[in-house]
Amino acid sequence: MTKSIVVLGTQWGDEGKGKIVDLLSKDVDAVVRFQGGHNAGHTLVIDGKKTVLHLIPSGILNEGAQCLIGNGLVVSLEALKKETESLEAWGVDVRSRLMISPACPIIMPYHEKLDHAREKAKGAKAIGTTGRGIGPAYEDKVSRRGIRMSDLNNHELLAEKLEESMDYHNFVLEKYFNMPGLAYDRVLDDALQLGACFADLVGDVSGELHRLRTEGKRILYEGAQGTLLDIDHGTYPFVTSSNTTIGAVCTGAGVGPDAIDYVLGITKAYTTRVGSGPFPTELFDDIGAGLAERGAEFGATTGRPRRCGWLDAVALRRAAHTNGVSGFCVTKMDVLDEVETIKVGVAYRLGDEVLDVPPQNPEAWDDLEVEYESFPGWQQSTRGITRFEDLPANAKSYLATIEALCGAPVHIVSTGPDRKESIIIQHPSD
Ligand code: IMP
């Protein structure tokens, strides 16, 4: 039996990871996040009731699952408080089941302010960030200037580190961006107050995972964003500031590669992206607008409309290699129900060259042309189907096409937003 499953996005995020993590978490003992922050928006629908989680692992709605936030995340205490309180208002016991690594860097108010200032200064070249301070917080981590969860318990150390950090950031805000800095006392007080709410949840996540694994417990690692937003492997610079690919599980949770038994790559049946940057199979016509409408394609974190396009098998192929995908989960299959002819990007053309994986130099993305293959749609409802054999023949062959083009089997299909609207062809745990 497979003990540890990793769920990763294989596109530009928003693939529906939250729903799948929630679905699988009823069979696991722990759910772990290992990168990103509250830029993620994981939407779960249970019996028609919708929840959006940003920071707390999507296993929180399954009582049996312990939830762990690994050192690879950048944590906003304010977002954590808000999310904890709204889950508690629903009757979910968060505190007895959540552990946060002491090594998580904290997203401070000046990080958010800097994120906005930078985006504004970039004008037309803006990345289109979520404005949550993610990039500046990771920069502070790497520059060894970051304030971490462990610092919250040590008033003196926190005051000292914060002073040093704010000297620098206020200088940048005031002198470079020409805007007011933040008041040190206020930031310190807020951090102390918010920190006190979570001090008892700080614990050794890496050690806990080792213990769980040794006891033979089942662990699910929940990725955020997607492969094409990875700081190294994505469409740089239009990416997020963390590694969203498989290696981040080890570095961001503190486990060895032997802790990973199965990698589930989540892809929509088509493609979406929020924010700026290359998107070779993007549609600018009525078909794209139809996908956006039927798929309710608005960002779960920022509410921004998502750009929509055909499935990009070239990019998916790369994601399958980069992450060692064991099986795919294809989500939002039902959104294609009415499409007469479905296209899939099968290769890129760059001048005279035909590429079967995306180029690694970002500038080349602008000059790509996509070669498509067309497939007949099924033009009947797949909404809510739970058995593979009940899918229309053309839907089955679309899934077989994805397998053939991307080099990994399809193990799960999602046919609607509810936990129940899923087809499990092969359970990742089997
Ligand atoms: P940041 O992560 O806020 O710095 O944003 C950098 C890029 O990643 C922007 O294009 C965002 O739209 C995108 N991004 C960040 N988080 C998500 C997500 O959870 N889903 C989709 N896109 C995301």
Shared-domain flag, residues 162 and 273: no
Q: Do residues 201 and 230 touch, judged by C-beta distance below 8 A?
A: no
Q: What is the pTM of this model?
A: 0.96
Shared-domain flag, residues 210 and 334: no
Q: Which two tokens stand for residue 295?
A: 């798929």
Instruction: Render each residue's pLDDT in the chain as its tens digit; 430 residues.
Output: 568 999 999 999 999 998 999 899 889 999 999 999 999 988 888 778 888 899 999 899 888 899 999 999 999 999 999 999 999 988 999 999 999 999 999 999 999 999 999 999 999 999 999 999 999 999 999 999 999 999 998 999 999 999 999 999 999 999 999 999 999 999 999 999 999 999 999 999 999 999 999 999 999 999 999 999 999 999 999 999 999 999 999 999 999 999 999 999 999 999 999 989 999 999 999 999 999 999 999 887 788 899 999 999 999 999 999 999 999 999 999 999 999 999 999 999 999 999 999 998 888 998 999 999 999 999 999 999 999 999 999 999 999 999 999 999 999 999 999 989 999 999 999 8
Shared-domain flag, residues 219 and 274: no
Q: Tell me what percent of the chain is helix, strand and coil, each rounded to the nearest 5.
A: 40, 20, 40
What local confidence, expressed as pLDDT, does residue 1 receive?
56
Phi, psi of 303 (to 5 degrees): 75, 5
CATH code at 152?
1.10.300.10
CATH code at 230?
3.40.440.10
From atom 10 of ligand 1, which residue's Cα is the shortest distance away? 275
In a domain, 328, yes or no: yes
In a domain, 154, yes or no: yes
**Which residue is listed with tokens 């239009």?**
238
In a domain, 429, yes or no: no
Q: Which two tokens stand for residue 306?
A: 């998502």
In a domain, 332, yes or no: yes
Question: Which range of residues forms the domain containing residue 343?
Answer: 266-424
Shared-domain flag, residues 388 and 306: yes
Q: Is the CB of 224 under 6 A from ligand 1?
A: yes
Alpha-carbon span 49 to 47, nearest angstrom: 6
Shared-domain flag, residues 32 and 177: no
Active-site hit among 22, 38, 42, 140: 42
CA of 187 to the centre of ligand 1 (A): 26
Shared-domain flag, residues 365 and 352: yes
CATH code at 330?
3.90.170.10
Choosing from 213, 233, 259, the residue where a domain stops is 259
Phi, psi of 375 (to 5 degrees): -135, 140
Alpha helices, DSSP H, located in 172-246: 184-198, 205-214
What local confidence, expressed as pLDDT, does residue 29 receive?
96
Q: Do residues 11 and 317 touch, judged by C-beta distance below 8 A?
A: no
Shared-domain flag, residues 172 and 224: no
From atom 12 of ligand 1, which residue's Cα is the shortest distance away? 275
In a domain, 33, yes or no: yes
User: Which residues on neighbouring strands pair with residue 4, listed in sequence order?
Assistant: 219
**Catalytic site includes residue 42:** yes
Shared-domain flag, residues 67 and 213: yes
**Closest-CA residue to 422 (of 46, 159, 126):** 46
What local confidence, expressed as pLDDT, does residue 98 receive?
97
Shared-domain flag, residues 152 and 10: no
**Catalytic site includes residue 258:** no
Q: Is the CB of 14 under 6 A from ligand 1?
A: yes
Choosing from 259, 280, 308, the residue where a domain stops is 259
Specify the number of domains making up the chain: 3
What local confidence, expressed as pLDDT, does residue 430 receive?
86
In a domain, 363, yes or no: yes
What local confidence, expressed as pLDDT, does residue 90 receive?
87
Shared-domain flag, residues 238 and 375: no
In a domain, 95, yes or no: yes
C-alpha radius of gyration, the chain, whole number: 21
Q: Which two tokens stand for residue 188?
A: 């310190």
**Closest-CA residue to 40 (of 304, 419, 299):** 299
User: Which residues on neighbouring strands pair with residue 414, listed in sequence order?
Assistant: 422
Shared-domain flag, residues 185 and 71: no
Shared-domain flag, residues 273 and 416: yes
Q: Do residues 407 and 395 touch, judged by C-beta distance below 8 A?
A: no
Give the pairing type, strands 341-350 and 353-355: antiparallel
In a domain, 271, yes or no: yes
